[in-house]
Every structure is written in structure tokens, then in C-alpha cells.
Structure 1
Amino acid sequence: MIRKAEKQDGNQASVLIYDAIYDIAHALTGENDKEKVLKQLDRYFSQERNRVSYHNCLVKIVDNNPIGIIVAYAGKDAHNLDEPIRSHVGEITGKEPVLDPEADITDFYIDTLSVNPRFGGQGFGTDLLQSAIDYANAQGYPTVSLNVEETNVKARKLYERLGFSYKKTITINDHEYHYLVKQI
């Protein structure tokens, strides 16, 4: 079953998000220690408005536990959704954080997709992607986008099989990503 995320999913959600975005999670939290990163991701998840808020997430449930997550939102909202994150990181580091733009403003943007490795290969990632695409379509978005690391050939093949195509290369947290878009 796939459902809207709920605040109480935070512990599992933070681990899934961390597993997917690792070094970006460190940048988004201003923390270097994994446990501190996970605690802050859990706090973000429970908040009402930021990029990884439970409001922007769907979860795949198996045996009453979230084993997969997709984080997605309107590209036009990305800058405002990052405000609480920029504020927190600024307080932690004492520096004005720079968060690289990840989405075009016209797209519905899939920020993060993660499935617990124990449940890999069962189509749960595809199901989560399709749920986000269906949601974007119902909301009237003409395109859905996501980023995939240049070296992640397996994921890129999955996305292309689902109709995503290369648009450009962008840099996020000093790593090169292919920005893929699907017309819906």
C-alpha cells in the first residue's frame, strides 16, 4: 500500500531519505555526525513546511512499516520550502548556506526516492514513482522531473523506461546529476 506520509513515519523516513541523499543530507542539516543528521531529518520531516516535510511525501507500507518513500513538490515552491532549512543550517554553521537549485519552476519535482534495500527489486520504487506522476498529472503539471547521479546507470535506466528523458546536467553539492524530465 502507498499512502500519504504521517508525522509518526519520521524515524523510518529519515533513514530512507539519508540512504538516498547521504552527503546532501549533511548539507541540509549542517551536521557531520550521522545520528545528528538523522535526528534533524526527523525534525524536518515533522515540520509543516519544508522540502522533506511529511506533507511532501508518500510512503510504501509493508507489514505496517514504511519501507519506501518519495519526496516530491512543485519546482516553483522549492526556494520557499528551503527557507526553514537555510535558517537552521545558518544557525548551526554560522554561515549563509548555499543550496543548489535542483528543479525547474515549471516541473513537479521528485526530490528523493528511496526503498529499504531489503525490499529492493520488488517494484516498490516504480510504484512510488508512478504514484507521484499520477499525483502531478491530477494537479495539472505538464512535466515531472528528477535528478540522477551521472554514475547511477541502473536508476537512470529505470527512469528512462518510465518515460523520463535527459534535459541537462546540473551540479548539486559538488556532484554532477542528470536532470531528467517526463512529459505527462
Structure 2
Amino acid sequence: MEQITLGSGCFWCTEAVFQRLKGVHSAVSGYSGGKTKDPFYREVVAGKTGHAEVVQVTYDPAQVSLEEILEVFWKTHDPTTLNRQGNDVGTQYRSAIFYHSEEQKEIAERLKQALDKSGAWVDPIVTEITKFDAFYPAEDYHQDYYNENGSQPYCQFVVAPKVKKFKEVFPDKLKED
């Protein structure tokens, strides 16, 4: 198993997508990239810690490649908006890849550059690619949030469309139910 830590806005959205990707063993919501040790949600969303909301993805590289994971990552959020995803605004919602090895860094930088050159987006990709330092799991009530709270308005209006898009764009990469 390998791990990569990804930030693409609200971690509920990111977690819900990666939980459904074939080859992913776990997707855990949490915080990374900041200065505060053992941060709490209220500190992070207030922008006081420097952390991003992230999901630590543990995956089997024999079943899903890092390239495939990053393809899903880039196609399920807007990597061209700095410190924002939809109505979620602040550095805690930044697009970020926290790599766990030099190989992951090289792959992420190569793919980011290729995507920028492809013209897939009008604006340049602002995803930060940073060496992984620490991961702090979010509070228990944030884990498996969409699966447990899918009928809540935020889940219906924000998370569900991202999950739907993932299923439509990547039907061959879905886990079996």
C-alpha cells in the first residue's frame, strides 16, 4: 500500500470521491500543510492554522496508479482557483498535493505541467505540490461524512454533484458495490 495526501476543497467531497475509486483502501479526512500541531476543525476553517482540508488516500498501486489517482483529483475539482472551491473560500480549501516520495513529486509535477500545456482549463493550474510533513485526522464526525449524512443540504448540493461527476467520467474506475 502507498499513500498520498490531497486537498481539493472541502474534505467531505474529496473523501466521498476517493472512497469510490477502485484500488483505494481508505480515504481519511484530515488536515495537512500548516503550522499548528493537532489542529481542530474550528481553527482550520477559521484560517488560523495554515492547514488545508485534505484526504489521506491509501491505495494499492497494483490496482490503481498514482497517475489515475491524480487524474481523478484534477478532474473532480477546479485546480485553477486559488484558495477557493465554489463557496468555500480560504487557504484551508486550496488545491494541494502533499507528496510522500520524490517519485510522487515527479509524477505530480509532470502531470500538472502536461495539463497546463493541454489547455484543459483556460486559467493556469494553481495546485501546490508540497512535501508531506504531517497528517492530522479530522474529528470522528467528519469521517465517512457523505455516506452517513448524504441527505443533508450541503451533501445534496455540493458533495453529490461531485460524486455524480466522478461516476459519469470514470465508470470503469468505480469500486463494485
TM-score bucket (shorter structure): 0.3 to 0.5
TM-score, normalization by structure 1: 0.34
| Greater share of residues in strand | 1
By relative contact order (CA 8 Å, sep 6+), the higher-ranking structure is 2
TM-score, normalization by structure 2: 0.35
| Greater share of residues in helix | 1
